[in-house]
Amino acid sequence: MVKIICLLGSCLLLSGCVLKHYPASPPIDDLQASQLDCGGVQQEIARQRDVDAQIDKTGEFDGLTVLAFMGDFGIGNGVAKGLARKHATARSAQLSSLAQQKCASGSVAAISASPS
């Protein structure tokens, strides 16, 4: 009985350390904004869309979700996903603004439109 309790206790302790790792979306700094041209902004927008897709894929239900739920009811992963999504949204907004500044107005709509 003691072995079972120790095993369950260690599983709970280890599951608290299980946190999904979401990709980072650092803000665009002034230097980077000044160096990017229209093509560079388009590439960054494409990369950011990939990051958005990775956030969604990482947030899918899997074994880590179960372990995290056992440790902290999934709160840590929810917070991590929320922060990743918040940073991704802020970066997308910055890139959209840069696209409006640096690209011809006709191509801005196509560039900044994000798939839903």
Query: Which uninterrupted H or E stretch holds 14?
Result: helix 2-15
Taking Cα atoms as reference points, which of 81, 85, 94 lies closest to residue 44?
Answer: 94
Please give the Cα distance from 66 to 73 (Å, whole number): 9
pTM for the model: 0.64
Q: What is the pLDDT of residues 24-63, one digit of tens each?
A: 999 999 999 999 999 999 999 999 999 999 999 887 776 6
Taking Cα atoms as reference points, which of 6, 21, 23, 12 lies closest to residue 68?
Answer: 12
Q: What is the pLDDT of residues 56-93, one digit of tens each?
A: 988 777 665 555 555 555 566 778 888 999 999 999 99
Query: Which uninterrupted H or E stretch holds 111?
Result: helix 105-112
